[in-house]
Structure 1
Amino acid sequence: MLWEVLNVVGTIAFAISGAIIATQEDYDILGLYVLGFVTAFGGSTIRNLLIGIPIESIWTQGNLFVVVFLVMTVVFLLPDAWIPYWNRWGIFFDAIGLASFAIQGALSAVQVNAPLSAILVAATLTGCGGGMIRDVLAGRKPMVLREEIYAIWATLGGLIIGLDLISGPWTTGILFVTIVTLRMCSVRFKWRLPRYPIW
């Protein structure tokens, strides 16, 4: 039950981030829904395509689609005075989404006996793919490729699962907390990957 709650929280956080970017880019309500849904479900959809999971399985999340739709409608109707509060707390909820989606993606790949390379891709795409598609549709440079360290933490989660270093709910929970903590540290301390030129 806790895992399902975290998954819902992460999905909603991703949807809100997509909706907020749509408002910042002056999109209409259709554009807001498109960016929100793409951010929330785009990564898992691409993952399913790449590792051979039936693509129609995405539609089994009917109740979550309804929740996301309602949340984005609220975002559209609210005045923009609440956005600074989201900027303060949204990063934390986004980190929850990153961790839960990355672990979910890696475990999905493990269930279909995918090789380690596919597990790494599944974890990374599930955690970051939706945000990358969102940024491309919004005409922005993908955040995960230029801001604080983000995608690497999803890949790290996939690596740990792919190497079979977790063996039950407790170790999975520890991995989840670790990814969230590392992501928040990246934001707090401005951790970035090296850029060209290095010197």
Structure 2
Amino acid sequence: MISGLIEACRAAIAAHADHLCELDSAIGDGDHGTNMRRGCEAVSADGHALADLPLPDALERIGMLLVMNIGGAAGPLYGTLLIELGRQLRTGGDAAAFAPVLERAIDAVARRGRAKAGDKTLLDVLYPVHAALAGRSALTEIAERAEHSAHDTAPMRAMRGRAAYLGDRSIGHVDPGASSCALLTTAICRYLGEYRPA
């Protein structure tokens, strides 16, 4: 399953990398798509080794690869999310009751980025996704929530990252980190919905 999830995420980012760069050009450095694609390709290149690891170890390893290969703020934020997921699962978190595990990982991302919901970051997708998961929403509904939440960042004023320097000029643009987070969430939900163990 890990290999399939990695490929689903890699393909989703590769297909939308140019669009992510366009979003980032409006309020950032213009390289978010390029950076995300590089990170996903690094994870994919390590896919066979990752597939042999227990899930907590695989998640931590993926997190480290993202930190090392994604530039800007996205690497540490995505890396923190995956590393913390792995740690929480290893220290007694129950994969069958994933919502509390995800909540603690998202809180770690918020601390790392010194951000909160409404600051126009990937947290504005992660928190709604967690709420949908905690409410036992279907995978299709979780994906839809992620996509809508990313679009909902457009009227927000950026409070963190390079976009924050633009002040009110950041209003009217979808946050690229929120968009990549929605893409990954949708890819994961779609894969899990179609996954059938051999």
Q: Name the structure with the higher helix share.
A: 1
TM-score between the two structures when normalised by the length of structure 1: 0.31
Greater CA radius of gyration, 1 or 2? 1
Structure 2 length-normalised TM: 0.31
